[in-house]
Amino acid sequence: MNYLSLNIRGLGEEGKAGWVKDIIREHKINFMGLQETQFGSLIGVNWQSFWGNNNFHLEHVDAHGRSGGLVSLWDPSIFTKSGVLKGRHYLLVSGFIKGLSSEFHLMNVYAPHKTREKRVLWEDIKSIMDSKQGFWMLFGDFNSVRYEEDRKNSVFDPSDAQVFNDFIYSKGLMEFTMKGRKFTYCKGKGVKAKLRKIDRFLVSHNFVDAWSDACLVALPRFLSDHSPLVLAIDPLDFGPKPFRVFNSWGEKAGFDEAIKNAIDSFCFSGPADLYLANKLIHVKKALKVWVADVKLKKKKIGRISWWNSIVLMKQWSKESYQRKKYGRLKSVKLPLWRWIPRNLRTYGSFLELDGHPLVMTTPLSFMGLLRARK
């Protein structure tokens, strides 16, 4: 099941329905949450033009004047609603995904701007989460950044970030690494544009355990100053995975030791999600060093084996090397394999020069020997 979150900044602008519909079709969205509909009533809205067909169910929270407004839509053949809970700044839809027995709680959020009001909202959400078991997902516009690097060309409010992070840590919520772009909101143009990462997907630990390969991507802004966010549980091609290990590495000597040494040498103090992310980065860097070292050793061994072969061939063909003119080269006869060393037989077919084994038949090795014997 794939999810879309978008602060649409009003439903009425021409072209927005087509824009949303294209995203849903391209990314195979099964559940969508929109923030800031700015509609006090949804009567008369053609939701089929947003969803692409009439196979959807819908829940909404009306806007207060031109402020706020939430809508959640989903495919009923994939997700079956079991309950709904609404507040001015959140819309919770609980239900079951086809084929899974655990209940899912999908909360669409549009947070207020004032820290005092956000603090009240976070406490309300914590109480709701404490009352329901299952998988949790909070998504939408939280109007808060977590860290100073989550904004540009604007003033960082550490107290607001602290309140937001305390809420996240207290409920054990986690985030997937966001691809596509660093910021989700843009106000203004050029180098002075105000950029912030305020749109997010926050999920429970058991969600990450069940779908660790989920992919979160921020799409380009178009008819809103917010980027659409897509969380794909069935990942499309959003580029290479951030951490890749080949099974063949586990068969090589030193692999386990390289990982153990990396874990033992890791030191970091901070939030659990950042601790895990930085630990994986540290192990990844250590594995890169280990792989490079293995390749270098393999290359050196190959060179040593090759030059050892050259030395042996020189010894066998000593009389032939002293001649100024050489006879015709022809393929070595089968009986000669009996006395060619076993470690050289893997290099390919040998050639014969006046009864002496000379070199492999590959052009590179043959020219190498010619240069070596001059």
State the CATH number of the domain containing residue 102.
3.60.10.10
Residues 109 and 76 in one domain: yes
Let me know: does 331 contact 352? Beta carbons within 8 Å.
yes
Q: Which residue in 29, 34, 32, 33 sits closest to 2, CA to CA?
A: 29
Based on the domain organization, do 46 and 145 belong to the same domain?
A: yes
- CA gap 222, 79 in Å, rounded: 29
Residue 127, domain member (yes or no) = yes
Are residues 100 and 39 both part of a single domain?
yes
Do 96 and 190 share a structural domain?
A: yes
In a domain, 188, yes or no: yes
Q: Is residue 311 part of a domain?
A: no
Has residue 62 got a pLDDT over 70? Answer: yes
CB atoms within 10 A of CB 13: 13
Query: Do residue 158 and residue 90 come from a single domain?
Result: yes
Kindly tell me if the per-residue pLDDT of 359 is higher than 50.
no
| Assigned token pair, 328 | 């015709």
Q: Is residue 194 part of a domain?
A: yes
The total number of residues written for the chain in this structure: 374
Cβ neighbors of 361 (< 8 A, separation 6 or more) are: 331, 348, 349, 350, 351
Q: Which pLDDT tens digit goes with each residue over 151-179?
A: 999 999 999 999 999 999 999 999 999 99
Contact criterion met (CB below 8 Å) for 92 and 105: yes
Give yes or no: residues 253 and 226 share one domain: no
Q: Which domain holds residue 325?
A: 317-373
Determine the pLDDT at residue 332: 42
Q: Are residues 282 and 350 in the same domain?
A: no
49 with 196, same domain: the answer is yes
Instruction: Check pLDDT > 60 for residue 333.
Output: no
Q: Which one has a higher pLDDT value, 347 or 271?
A: 271
Q: What percent of the chain has pLDDT over 90?
A: 56
Phi, psi of 293 (to 5 degrees): -65, -40
Are 134 and 95 members of one domain? Answer: yes
**Residue 237 is assigned to a structural domain of this protein:** no
Count of structural domains within the chain: 3
- Which position has the higher pLDDT, 145 or 272? 145
DSSP string, 114-175: SHHHHHHHHHHHHHHHHT--SEEEEEEE-S--SSGGGEESS---HHHHHHHHHHHHHTT-B-
> How wide is the angle at C-alpha 311 spanned by C-alphas 310 and 314, nearest 5°?
85
Gap between the Cα atoms of 87 and 282, Å rounded = 42
pLDDT over 50 at 257, yes or no: yes
Position 364 scores a pLDDT of: 41
Q: For tokens 């897509």, what's the residue?
A: 230
pLDDT at 33 over 70: yes
The string of pLDDT tens digits covering residues 88-134 is: 999 999 999 999 999 999 999 999 999 999 999 999 999 999 999 99
Q: Distance (Å, rounded) from C-alpha 365 to C-alpha 188?
A: 64
Same domain, 276 and 177: no
Q: Is 302 among the domain residues?
A: no
Name the most confidently modeled range: 236-245, 257-266, 300-309.
Answer: 257-266
> Do 195 and 266 have their domain in common?
no
Q: What is the pLDDT of residues 188-227, one digit of tens each?
A: 988 899 999 999 999 999 999 899 889 999 999 999 999 9
Average of per-residue pLDDT values in the chain = 82
Count CA within 13 A, CB hemisphere, residue 307. Answer: 5
CB atoms within 10 A of CB 204: 19
Same domain, residue pair 266 and 224? no
The pTM of the full predicted model, rounded to 2 decimals, is 0.66
